[in-house]
Each structure stands twice: as structure tokens, then as C-alpha cells.
Amino acid sequence: MYEGVVQDLIDELGRLPGVGPKGAQRIAFHLLQADPEDITRLADALVQIREKVRFCDICGNVAEAEQCRICLNPRRDVGLICVVQQSQDVAAIERTREFHGRYHVLGGAINPIGGIGPDDLRIRELVSRLADSQVTEVILATNPNLEGEATSTYLARMLAPFEGVRVSRLASGLPVGGDLEYADEVTLGRAFEGRRVLSEGTPAGQPD
């Protein structure tokens, strides 16, 4: 235990995901020894991200305006929507340069043990986007773990009745139990190329 503000800093750093007590202590003492200008830049960045960053009204990705740069890009294919769990996954997929459509960020995955159900995710917003007849394919790019697979299965069932909308899932290449955020570009690129179709959608003019 340390005195006053030093321990307060360690405690706050320890609340960050992936930072344990020892890691928090190392970061705290690194900051204590850093140049004052570096500390000021870090503090300013933290204030700015709280004041300026929001979530896109369309896809839910992080943005500094009502819509993110991807949704505002007229060159993106409006017929393709890639569904991911978090904004970090958007950045991971963009690094592959294999996908040229738009995204939909769910804000998590179905996890009954953690108390997260379908109503806690941005699923209603996804369904609303499919009311636009321009959408022809929804690619489910949830994480290849139990929660991600459960979410993918739920969405596949829900989206199957939409006429003319193909529902696909990222193919092999992603490690089971891993997070999309940490996959390398080659692995993600191959997964996009080999995605499998889960539903072709109900043909227009035919009964369900």
C-alpha cells in the first residue's frame, strides 16, 4: 500500500480491463517518472475522449459526429452489413482491406450467465436497417466463442425470414475461444473469403 494519490492512481488503473495489481503499480510509477508534458497530453486525451467521442447513430461504431466515417463514405457497399460485437472488431476487419460494406456494432454478445440477453444488444436497430431493400447480405462476424456462437445462431434464426437477404457467418481460420480483435489480418481475410451461408432469405413473392 502507498500513500494518498499514488495509491488512488494504482487503484484506478487496476480497474482497467486486463490490468492487474502489479501492472497497475508499474504504470503508476512509470507515470510518476514521465515528463510533465507527457502527463498533460495523456490527461487531455482522456478528457477529449469523454467529451467528444460518441456512437454512430446508424451502426453504433465510435464516432465524433452523429455518423461515423464509414457510414458517411459513399463508396462503401450499402448492400453488405457486417455484424460485430464491439467497435474494436471494426478496426480489426478494416485492417484486412477485404470488406467494403458497412458495419453494425451489437455492443456485446448474448451471455445468460452474465445477464446479457438479446434485448440488451443493438438487435432491434439491425432489424430496422434491414427494412431498407438495399441490404442483400448480412455477415455475422461475432467472436468464435460460446457467447459469439450463441449470438450468431440467434441472429441467423431472426434474420432468416427477410426476403432477399443472405445471412452468412465468417468461415474457418478464426481460433475457437479467441477474440476477433486479436486476430491477424491474414486469418481474418481468409475467414471473409470462405464465409459460409446460413440463410439465403425468403424468395420475394413466396410464402414463408
Contact present, 131 and 73 (Cβ < 8 Å) = no
CA distances from 75 to 53, 63, 72, 80, 174 (A): 24, 18, 9, 12, 28
Average pLDDT over residues 115-141: 92
| DSSP H or E segment with residue 154 | helix 146-159
Residue 69 pLDDT > 70: yes
| Residue at grid coordinates 442483400 | 136
Q: What is the pLDDT of residue 208?
A: 58
Please state, in angstroms and rounded to a whole number, the distance separating the CA atoms of residues 51 and 28.
24
Average pLDDT over residues 64-73: 94
- In this structure, of 8-12, 50-54, 189-193, the range with the lowest mean pLDDT score is 189-193
Residue 95 pLDDT > 90: yes
Please state, in angstroms and rounded to a whole number, the distance separating the CA atoms of residues 153 and 16.
31
Average pLDDT over residues 118-125: 95
Mean pLDDT value across the chain = 89
User: Nearest 5°: phi and psi at 54?
Assistant: -140, -170
Q: The whole model's pTM is what?
A: 0.75
Residue 159 pLDDT > 80: yes
Pairs from 48-53 (Cβ < 8 Å, separation ≥ 24) = none
Residue 207 pLDDT > 80: no
pLDDT tens for residues 30-40?
Answer: 998 999 999 99
